[in-house]
Amino acid sequence: MYEPGYASYITKEDILRFTVSDPILTHASLVYPSLNLNRIQGSEAFNDTYYHQGEAIRLLKERISSSEYRVASNAIIYAVTCLMYFEVGPLFFRVGLFLDVRNHRF
């Protein structure tokens, strides 16, 4: 259920600034919208989608394997979440698991 003021302290500008602050975030954030645009246009070639997905995965692999990063940053957590949603999101809707997640109160 929507609660007014729940995330009002986060502006669109803040989200955009965060998304373009790191190439991993940019590519991970563009995976799902590019898929939707391809579907709207009736395209069966999802080159843009797979490009952004591949770049996000490649950059994540480099970042995680780098000894410079010992702790997962917000960028890594967000990128993994975007990629996970792209992979398993349809399963939640198809099987009905989404209803259980949506109704669960934290």
- For the stretch 10-61, pLDDT in tens is 778 888 888 889 999 999 999 888 888 888 888 877 888 899 999 999 999 9
CB-CB contact of 22 with 78 (8 Å):
no
> Residue 59: its pLDDT value, please?
93
Q: Is residue 67 part of a domain?
A: yes
Q: In this structure, what are the phi and psi dihedrals at residue 47, rounded to the nearest 5 degrees?
A: -60, -45
Number of domains in the chain: 1
CB-CB contact of 31 with 46 (8 Å):
no
Q: Is residue 4 part of a domain?
A: no
Q: Is residue 76 part of a domain?
A: yes
Number of separate helices (H) and strands (E) present in the chain = 5, 0
CB-CB contact of 76 with 63 (8 Å):
yes
For the chain, what is the mean pLDDT? 78
What is d(CA 88, CA 23) in angstroms, rounded to the nearest whole number? 23
What domain range includes position 17?
A: 12-103
pTM of the predicted protein model:
0.70
> Residue 55: its pLDDT value, please?
95
